[in-house]
Amino acid sequence: MIRKTLAASIRDDLRARIAEGAWEDRLPSEPELVRRFEASRETVRKALGMLEAEGLIYRMHGKGTFVEAPMSFNPLSGTLSITEELARNRHPVRNTVLEAGWIAPERISSTFLRGFFEGAPRVYQARRLRLVRSEVLAVETSYFREADFPGIDAEDLTGSLHALMNGRYGLAPDRVRNRFHALDFRIKEEREAARALGSRQAIRVERALVLKREVYYAVSFTLRTDLHPLEFIQLPGRTGEGVL
């Protein structure tokens, strides 16, 4: 019979306590765990390292050890906002605006999205990075119809764009169109997106928000798939309703 090491026993005890919800967010400090388990600091650190490898905790230098909330994102969820959906699981998202400005619709690289803005004199484009802690989760390019977003060029775009659209402009979709693509590394834009993400394991989603048959906002985002599971929930008897 193989005997457990002390580090493995501490790991199992901590794992059970996390599962029971003993610590909602932050674990006790290393000195506290040393006293609790009557073990050396090195042994406690080994146990924490095992839990971190399992994805149950994460450690931040100078701040402590925290319970890792399960990260999941459903690109087809009713929430629509990556920022809001991940925040519900205690994963605050930091959005960084790379560039923003007015462009002619013909400069939209996606043929699918470009078609929704034909005839518009100009479109406001914003490119952003979304980060969860230190990891880049997604690269996105958003397009706003000028007639629906007066003053958009003066707005703060670092928060949830859906909160901005709903709260500031009173816009909420009655239909959402989504297209999913594997990355094509022959395309320069997609190579650059993978480089910004730091991963080639990604999927590109093109989305258009429709209200009264008119698209007022569209977005193309490239999302890492190796940081979290993608989920697609179907309701029996309602298959295909408002999905694609």
Assess whether 55 and 10 both reside in one domain: yes
Estimate to the nearest angstrom the gap between the alpha carbon of 148 and the chain centroid: 26
pLDDT in tens, 171-203: 999 898 989 888 888 888 888 888 888 888 888
Assess whether 146 and 33 both reside in one domain: no
Assess whether 149 and 214 both reside in one domain: yes
pLDDT in tens, 116-160: 999 999 999 999 998 887 788 889 999 999 999 999 999 999 988
> Is residue 122 included in any domain, yes or no?
yes
Assess whether 155 and 86 both reside in one domain: yes
Q: What confidence score (pLDDT) does residue 244 get?
A: 33
Query: Beta strands of the chain (E only): which ranges?
Result: 57-60, 64-67, 93-103, 123-132, 135-145, 175-182, 202-211, 214-224
For residue 239, pLDDT over 80 is answered with no
> Is residue 235 included in any domain, yes or no?
no
> Is residue 35 included in any domain, yes or no?
yes
Assess whether 61 and 136 both reside in one domain: no
Alpha helix positions (H), 2-97: 6-20, 30-37, 41-53, 82-88
d(CA 102, CA 176): 24
Assess whether 56 and 110 both reside in one domain: no
Could you tell me the pLDDT band of residue 170, with boundaries at 50, 70 and 90?
Answer: very high
Per the model's pLDDT, the better-predicted residue between 109 and 144 turns out to be 144
Assess whether 218 and 162 both reside in one domain: yes
Assess whether 122 and 198 both reside in one domain: yes
> Is residue 229 included in any domain, yes or no?
no
Residue 23's SS3 state is coil
pTM of the model: 0.67
Domain CATH code at residue 53: 1.10.10.10
- Can you give the residue range of the structural domain that contains 18? 6-67
Number of domains composing the chain: 2
> Is residue 232 included in any domain, yes or no?
no
d(CA 10, CA 4): 10
Cα radius of gyration (the chain)? 22
Assess whether 138 and 28 both reside in one domain: no
> Encoding tokens for residue 10?
């501490």
In 3D space, the residue among 121, 85, 87 whose CA is nearest the CA of residue 105 turns out to be 121
Q: What confidence score (pLDDT) does residue 238 get?
A: 45
d(CA 222, CA 215): 21
Q: What confidence score (pLDDT) does residue 69 get?
A: 65
pLDDT in tens, 215-227: 999 999 998 887 7
In 3D space, the residue among 104, 87, 116 whose CA is nearest the CA of residue 208 turns out to be 116
pLDDT in tens, 60-83: 778 888 887 665 555 555 555 666
Assess whether 52 and 148 both reside in one domain: no
Assess whether 132 and 195 both reside in one domain: yes
